[in-house]
């Protein structure tokens, strides 16, 4: 395939602090909401007892092994690595005035190591975690005060890393709060719709304040949002199904509308009114929301369907968003439907809607890997998945969509977010650790490692039209 990818396309990978770092109490780190979810986002929220460790407490020990891992990313030719800062390393309880120097120093070391290889950081301020102290003392994002704590944290890290980090993201998959309120906004899972949307509103205001702070502090800095790009198709051509699909797509596009357009879209007023949802939005909030993002970033793993037919609505739903399955698509071992064309469609939908540059900051296949007797790992299924998605990215670029980069999810095996499993592997690099936490943590290159290195080296020329 001849390359359609622009020069300076940001090829790389994406990880998150709580899924790789481990060291959950090292150098003064406080407890985060993620530390209270040893079984993952959909597991129970567990009060921590020292010594009662979940798999994330060590994760893949990136906190100590990052120099080796960055060297492997560099060997693949990464131009960019997306990671997050653990808020609790900087402000252990969340409401301190002074930051924790040891936490700040860790990310200095990490960003310096990346710079040695010319790898640009793309940094998420909050990836599925916040200080548990803010949840306990203040009620998480349900409390307006959390906006100020977050802004203080954002300003602190912008000041500290302004000459090391150019690209920032505010909240990972900000729309996920609708499905996982504790993970997203630090609220109980059985919170009311009004409570959840109020917390979301506070988070949207905080996101806009961070955008303003980034523009003020980081010279030439660019900051984006981050959406879970769960695009939905109508299951049939019945007009009611098409309309309901539009409505459900707006459930998540709403976040992008606020962050990219600077205010609440009109359709939300009706949604709030008809569902008895009360949200306090002050004039000052409205003013703050006018500060819009520079680019849109999103994750893409799968698409889903929508139907108004009750019988079909009862079909088994296996993916993270409980979408109605598409009869035309195959699924991964975890029931996530594989739809490369959906990525081209989604890129076009987002570009038509916002006319802002797009950044694909997560995409990948979670699968079980087998280490052969000779130590090799032949993950052709992963190569095929990624190849087919990247071919569609190239098509979207040809359609005229402005795409800044592509960071595949989990370039090194890590702890999965939904169920805290190690066996759901995404990496080009294998990590010797199982679901029970056994293993040497040794790193090993998979077949896909060499494949991705060739893709980057050829700027996409080595992709095959059909895997």
The footprint of ligand BG6 (CB under 6 A) covers 16, 19, 128, 172-173, 228, 299, 362, 366, 409, 416-418, 424
Residue 362 backbone dihedrals phi, psi, to 5 degrees:
-160, 135
Q: Report the residue number, 24 or 138, with the smaller CB distance to ligand BG6.
A: 24
197 contacts 178 by C-beta, under 8 angstroms = no
- Taking the complex as a whole, the smallest distance from the CB of residue 397 to ligand BG6 amounts, in Å, to 24
- The 3 state secondary structure assigned to 256-324 is HHHHHHCCCCHHHHHHHHHCCCCCCCCHHHHHHHCCCCCEEEEECCCCEEECCCHHHHCCCCCCCCCCE
Report whether 82 contacts 124 (CB < 8 A). yes
Q: Which residues are catalytic?
A: 173, 362
CB of 172 to ligand BG6, least distance (A): 5
d(CA 405, CA 6): 9
| Listed residue (375, 379, 305, 298) closest to 339, CA to CA | 305
CB atoms inside a 10 Å sphere around CB 294: 18
- Which one, 279 or 321, has the nearer CB to ligand BG6? 321
Backbone phi, then psi, for 184, in 5-degree steps?
Answer: -80, -45
Candidates 447, 439, 408; CA nearest to 423 is 439
Closest CA to 65 of 21, 102, 107: 21
Least distance CB 410 / ligand BG6 (angstroms): 7
Q: Which residue has the tokens 């800044």?
A: 404
Dihedral Cα 72, 75, 76, 77, nearest 10 deg: 120
Whether residue 355 contacts residue 293, with contact meaning beta carbons closer than 8 Å, is answered with no
Write down the residue that tokens 């975690």 correspond to: 129
Name the residue nearer to ligand BG6 (CB basis): 289 or 417.
417
Q: Which residues contact 216 (CB under 8 A, 6 or more apart)?
A: none
Find the shortest distance in angstroms from Cβ 275 to ligand BG6. Answer: 25
Q: Which residues pair with 298 in a beta bridge?
A: 227, 360
CB of 421 to ligand BG6, least distance (A): 8
Nearer to ligand BG6, 293 or 394 (CB): 293
Between CA 204 and CA 12 the distance in angstroms is: 28
Contacts 24+ apart (CB under 8 A), 242-248: 244/306, 244/307, 244/308, 245/305, 245/306, 248/306
User: What is the DSSP pairing of strand 120-126 with strand 167-171?
Assistant: parallel
Distance CA 80, CA 14 (A): 9
Residue 228 sits at φ, ψ, to 5 deg, of -80, 110
Shortest distance, position 409 Cβ to ligand BG6, whole Å: 5
Provide the minimum distance between the beta carbon of 420 and ligand BG6 in the complex, in angstroms, as a whole number: 9
- Name the minimum Å distance from CB 243 to ligand BG6: 28
Nearer to ligand BG6 (CB atom), residue 84 or residue 156: 84
The residue (of 241 and 369) whose beta carbon lies closer to ligand BG6 is 369
Helix (H), strand (E), coil (C) string for 229-252? CCCEEECCCCHHHHHHHHHHHHHH
Measured from the CB atom, the residue of 409 and 451 that comes closer to ligand BG6 is: 409
Residue closer to ligand BG6, measured from CB, 57 or 173: 173
């Amino acid at each position: 395939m001849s390359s359609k990818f622009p020069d300076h396309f940001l090829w790389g990978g994406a990880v998150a602090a709580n899924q790789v770092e481990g060291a959950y109490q090292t150098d003064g780190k406080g407890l985060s909401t993620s530390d209270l979810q040893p079984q993952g986002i959909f597991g129970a929220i567990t009060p921590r007892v020292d010594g009662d460790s979940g798999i994330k407490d060590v994760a893949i020990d990136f906190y100590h092994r990052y120099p080796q891992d960055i060297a492997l990313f560099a060997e693949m030719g990464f131009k960019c690595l997306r990671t997050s800062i653990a808020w609790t390393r900087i402000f252990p309880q969340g409401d301190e005035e002074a930051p924790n120097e040891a936490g700040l120093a860790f990310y200095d070391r990490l960003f310096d190591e990346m710079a040695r290889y010319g790898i640009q950081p793309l940094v998420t301020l909050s990836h599925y975690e916040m200080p548990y102290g803010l949840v306990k003392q203040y009620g998480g994002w349900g409390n307006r005060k959390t906006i100020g704590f977050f802004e203080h944290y954002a300003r602190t890290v912008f000041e500290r890393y302004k000459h090391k980090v150019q690209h920032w993201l505010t909240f990972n998959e900000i729309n996920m709060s609708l499905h996982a309120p504790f993970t997203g906004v630090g609220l109980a899972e059985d919170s009311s719709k009004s409570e959840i949307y109020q917390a979301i509103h506070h988070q949207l205001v905080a996101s806009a304040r961070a955008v303003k702070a980034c523009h003020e502090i980081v010279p030439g800095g660019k900051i984006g949002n981050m959406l879970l790009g769960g695009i939905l198709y109508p299951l049939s051509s019945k007009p009611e199904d098409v309309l309901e699909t539009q409505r459900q797509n707006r459930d998540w596009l709403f976040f992008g509308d606020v962050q990219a357009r600077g205010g609440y879209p009109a359709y939300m007023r009706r949604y709030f009114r008809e569902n008895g949802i009360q949200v306090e939005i002050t004039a000052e909030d409205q003013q703050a929301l006018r500060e819009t993002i520079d680019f849109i970033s999103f994750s893409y793993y799968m698409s889903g369907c929508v139907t108004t037919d009750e019988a079909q609505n009862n079909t088994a739903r296996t993916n993270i968003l409980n979408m109605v399955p598409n009869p035309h698509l195959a699924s991964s071992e975890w029931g996530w439907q594989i739809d490369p064309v959906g990525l081209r469609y989604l890129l076009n939908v987002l570009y038509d809607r916002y006319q802002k540059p797009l950044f694909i900051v997560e995409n990948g296949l979670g699968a079980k890997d087998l280490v052969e007797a000779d130590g090799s790992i032949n993950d052709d299924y992963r190569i095929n998945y990624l190849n087919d998605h990247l071919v569609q990215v190239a098509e979207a670029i040809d359609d005229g969509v402005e795409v800044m980069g592509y960071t595949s999810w989990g370039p090194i095996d890590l702890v999965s977010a939904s169920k805290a499993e190690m066996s759901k592997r995404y990496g080009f690099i294998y990590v010797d650790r199982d679901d029970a936490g056994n293993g040497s943590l040794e790193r090993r290159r998979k077949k896909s490692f060499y494949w991705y290195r060739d893709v980057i080296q050829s700027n996409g020329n080595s992709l095959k039209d059909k895997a």
